[in-house]
Amino acid sequence: MIFLFYALGIFLSRLTGEFLPGSILGMILLFLALLSGVVKNDGLKPVASVITRNMALFFVPVGVGVIESGSSLVNSLPAVIVAAVVSTILVMIVTGHIQQFMEGRRK
């Protein structure tokens, strides 16, 4: 089911001129399907647990890419640092607000 939504996301991405990556579109579609109840959570748990247990494998290609493009990364180091700091702060703020919203909803 996860790969079906991934493939659907890739298809929609190519159909729309690749405005958003297919993996992101597939994840959004899967989230909406879970939220609406079209897809049941129980069926995805075995696959999702395998994927999350082996999450470190997904970072290997990124690490290799960073190492290979080290020279061009050095040229734009200030921009990379600013982007990393700003995005980290934004993620922390958004995560905090979502957590507070979810806790208030639970009560």
One DSSP character per residue, 16-52 reads TTSSS-HHHHHHHHHHHHHHHTSS-HHHHHHHHHHHH
pLDDT bucket at 107, cuts 50 / 70 / 90: low
Return the ∠ at Cα 54 (arms to 53 and 55), rounded to 5°: 95
17 torsion bin: left (phi>0), alpha (psi -120 to 50), beta (else): left
Average pLDDT over residues 16-33: 90
Instruction: Please state, in angstroms and rounded to a whole number, the distance separating the CA atoms of residues 21 and 69.
Output: 22
Confidence of residue 63 (pLDDT cuts 50, 70, 90): confident
| Position 36 pLDDT exceeds 70 | yes
Q: What is the pLDDT of residue 12?
A: 92
- Domain definitions of the chain by residue range: 1-59, 75-107
| pLDDT tops 80 at residue 106 | no
Whether this prediction's pTM lies above 0.85 is answered by: no
